[in-house]
Amino acid sequence: MFPYFRYVMSPPIRAPGHGKALQAALSTGVLQLVGTDHCTFNSTQKALGIDDFRKIPNGVNGLEERMHLVWDTMVVSGQISVTDFVRVTSTECARIFNMYPRKGAILVGSDADIIILNPNSSFEISSKTHHSRTDTNVYEGRKGKGKVEVTIAGGKVVWENNELNIVPGNGKYVKMAPFNYLFDGIEKADSEYLSSLRAPVIRSKQTS
């Protein structure tokens, strides 16, 4: 029996055509960024709902694979530029979360969070080599070009030569203000909408 329960997520996995539509939307600017609702469970945890899908823990991996997949799928294929790659994976995310230019930019005063991606390096995704504590990977066997080889956080090299160089407590809480630029003008839009409403509302008479 195919272990379908390992790949239960929301929204569910779609047919290949959906992916092409999402790629087209990303390349034309309809979609502004790429993120992931990374939420992993091992096969034993997933199997809790083998007889009742309502009991299957919901979610799959995606955090570790995101940058590699976007590069290979979108940049290598020529659907977006290298600059677009930075925008949809970093800059726009920081702007929407009200963290720009502290995050999402290489500027004086920014946090110096940088990745170095080798476009000539290849990758192969596998549950045997990934770093999540799970025995399942939704992208199992996926190969491609473009691999993150160095990660710098706060000006310090934290990932290099496939080795993680951090200790507990390295992370810092980043307070984010509400209402990013997407809310600009929303008060005016609400005001115009409310002023367009008229009372009383006249409805046609019901016929017997």
User: pLDDT averaged over consecutive 10-residue blocks of the chain (208 residues)?
Assistant: 81 92 96 93 93 92 96 98 97 95 95 96 96 93 97 95 90 90 83 74 63
CA distances from 189 to 85, 137, 195 (A): 32, 44, 10
CA distance 67 to 123: 11
Cα 126 to Cα 63: distance, rounded to the nearest angstrom: 14
Q: Residue 111's pLDDT is what?
A: 95
Coil, strand or helix: which one is 185?
A: coil
Architecture of domain 4-196: Alpha-Beta Barrel (3.20)
Q: What per-residue confidence (pLDDT) applies to 4?
A: 83
